[in-house]
């Protein structure tokens, strides 16, 4: 009985507000006769026609591909640099001002510059995603690596856990809570940059398709693209949550046990 209640409550929490918002949208859009605010009915039927078609291969998959490569590239690069900077104080002192400068540049302004070097193909978009998303991963990794408990580090040294084993058994797991937090920020930045880079200069992709619809006044189709982006972000965030709870279950337990002590 209680389980049922709890399940129902969780369901309401997850879907209650979205359902209410959709209902509102439905209601107001149905009463509007503006060309720019099509009814939800129109958008939904456009959604099916538009996206369950060759566009899956032409636009959706290329976007997902760029997102995946760019995001994973940013994670690998960010963790690598973060571990290096986090473990070498002098290197950090040397590079910090430069890194702060580059971090302060809004990544979309790199698009015109990168277009000069790498054209308007996938590599430009992937580069934009990497350059923009690497920072939260890197900076969080640096913090995580610096915060490694020195008793734990001494323990590892005593038992001969050095080099690659140290990285795998001590550094990466110890920094994993911060790394995952950085990866979460990087995920939303990656999605934004994917869309923007495709809007700028492209011949395929979700961002490209949305701009194209807008220019040809295919308004319900345009809205359906925005809906698709929202759903994509939502799905990725759910996936990310699954990963997080697998990788960090020890961390949650640890924090709870520490709270209990206080």
Decide: is 149 part of the binding site for other proteins (CB under 8 A).
yes
Decide: is 96 part of the binding site for other proteins (CB under 8 A).
no
Token pair 């959604």 in the structure block, residue: 47
Nearer to other proteins, 2 or 257 (CB): 257
Closest Cα to residue 83, out of 42, 135, 27, 139?
139
CB of 256 to other proteins, least distance (A): 8
Angle between helices 172-200 and 61-87 (to 10 degrees): 140
Decide: is 243 part of the binding site for other proteins (CB under 8 A).
no
Decide: is 165 part of the binding site for other proteins (CB under 8 A).
yes
Choose the stretch contacting other proteins; rule: CB under 8 A; options: 17-25, 26-34, 48-56, 167-175.
Answer: 167-175
Decide: is 28 part of the binding site for other proteins (CB under 8 A).
no
Residue in 169, 216, 237, 239 binding other proteins, rule: CB under 8 A: 169
CB of 152 to other proteins, least distance (A): 6
Residue in 154, 230, 231, 234 binding other proteins, rule: CB under 8 A: 154
Q: Is the dihedral of CA 113, 196, 207, 61 positive or negative?
A: positive
The overall longest dimension of the chain from CA atoms, in Å, is 74
C-alpha neighbours within 13 Å on the C-beta side of residue 93? 3
Decide: is 102 part of the binding site for other proteins (CB under 8 A).
no
Nearer to other proteins, 9 or 157 (CB): 157
d(CA 82, CA 190): 18
Nearer to other proteins, 98 or 164 (CB): 164
Give the distance from CA 73 to its chain's centroid: 12
Token pair 């797991």 in the structure block, residue: 173
Decide: is 161 part of the binding site for other proteins (CB under 8 A).
yes
Decide: is 119 part of the binding site for other proteins (CB under 8 A).
no
- Total Cβ atoms within 10 A of residue 98: 9
d(CA 148, CA 139): 15
In the chain, % helix, strand, coil (3-state, to 5) comes to: 85, 0, 15
CB of 162 to other proteins, least distance (A): 9
Interaction site with other proteins (CB under 8 A): 149, 151-152, 154-155, 157-161, 165, 169-170, 173-174, 176, 250-251, 253-254, 257-258
């Amino acid at each position: 009985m209680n389980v049922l209640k709890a399940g129902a409550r969780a369901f309401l929490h997850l879907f209650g507000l979205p359902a209410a918002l959709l209902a509102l949208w439905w209601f107001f859009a149905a009463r509007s006769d503006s060309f720019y605010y099509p009814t939800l009915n129109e958008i939904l039927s456009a959604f099916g026609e538009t996206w369950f078609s060759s566009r899956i291969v032409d636009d959706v998959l290329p976007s997902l591909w760029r997102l995946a490569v760019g995001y994973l590239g940013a994670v690998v690069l960010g963790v690598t640099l973060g571990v290096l900077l986090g473990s070498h104080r002098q290197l950090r002192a040397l590079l910090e001002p430069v890194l702060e400068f580059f971090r302060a540049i809004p990544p979309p302004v790199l698009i015109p510059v990168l277009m000069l070097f790498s054209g308007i193909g996938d590599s430009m978009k992937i580069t934009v995603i990497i350059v923009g998303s690497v920072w939260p991963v890197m900076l969080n990794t640096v913090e995580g690596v610096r915060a490694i408990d020195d008793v734990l580090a001494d323990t590892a040294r005593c038992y001969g856990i050095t080099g690659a084993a140290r990285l795998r058994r001590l550094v990466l797991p110890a920094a994993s809570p911060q790394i995952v937090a950085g990866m979460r920020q990087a995920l939303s930045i990656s999605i934004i940059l994917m869309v923007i880079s495709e809007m700028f200069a492209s011949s395929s992709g979700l961002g490209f398709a949305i701009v194209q619809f807008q220019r040809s006044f295919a308004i319900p189709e345009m809205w359906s693209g925005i809906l698709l982006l929202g759903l994509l972000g939502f799905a990725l965030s759910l996936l990310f949550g699954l990963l997080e709870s697998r990788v960090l279950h020890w961390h949650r337990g640890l924090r709870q046990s520490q709270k209990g002590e206080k």
